[in-house]
Amino acid sequence: MSIYDIEVNSITGEKTSLAAYQGKVLLIVNVASKCGLTPQYEQLEALYKEKAAAGFEVLGFPCNQFLGQEPGTEAEIQQFCSLTYDVTFPMFAKVEVNGANRHPLYQTLIAAQPEAIKTAEGGLAKKLGEMELLPKNASDIMWNFEKFLVSADGQVLARFAPDVTVTSAEFTSVFDQAFK
């Protein structure tokens, strides 16, 4: 099954698929409104505005699996993102990214890229390990704001740990290649 065939629900509840994004470079991110990493919305929106005309989309998938850091309804999430970070990129309904109820999109993404590119110092992984919050399965999503880069032809090119920001060298070196 192609990534474009996977059914998702928009944040306003409409059933859809990723087919609308075929031919574009995608950055798929599991997001949360009450996380220490939430300010990444600002960088994600800036990158989206900068590269949208070149065929780029950021797709936000709220997830409440990490210490309940996305407790709101879809309407509350949408309002928070709009008012706090002026998010204009597409947002979707809440999904589970780990466990028995993992959304098929995340099953596909993880199967294609079971390991994330981490920061040189591996800061978040160390911190979560010390707090005994790292997932037991190494291929599971580590935390909010883990990112998957998908090429314009639907190939999952890379996966980035939550603390790899879209302005970091780890990200930009791979991201720039997706447009060549």
Catalytically active residues, by annotation: 35
What is the Cα–Cα distance from 56 to 91, expressed in whole angstroms? 14
| 14 phi/psi in degrees, rounded to 5 | -75, 135
Distance of alpha carbon 112 from alpha carbon 84, whole angstroms: 33
Q: Cα separations (Å) of 46 from 53, 85, 98?
A: 13, 10, 28
Pairwise CA distance, residues 113 & 108, whole Å: 9
Angle between helical axes of 74-85 and 40-51 (0-180°, round to 10)? 80
Q: What type of residue is 180?
A: K
Which residue in the block uniquely carries the two structure tokens 């998957």?
148
How many angstroms separate the Cα of 143 from the Cα of each of 17, 65, 162? 24, 8, 6
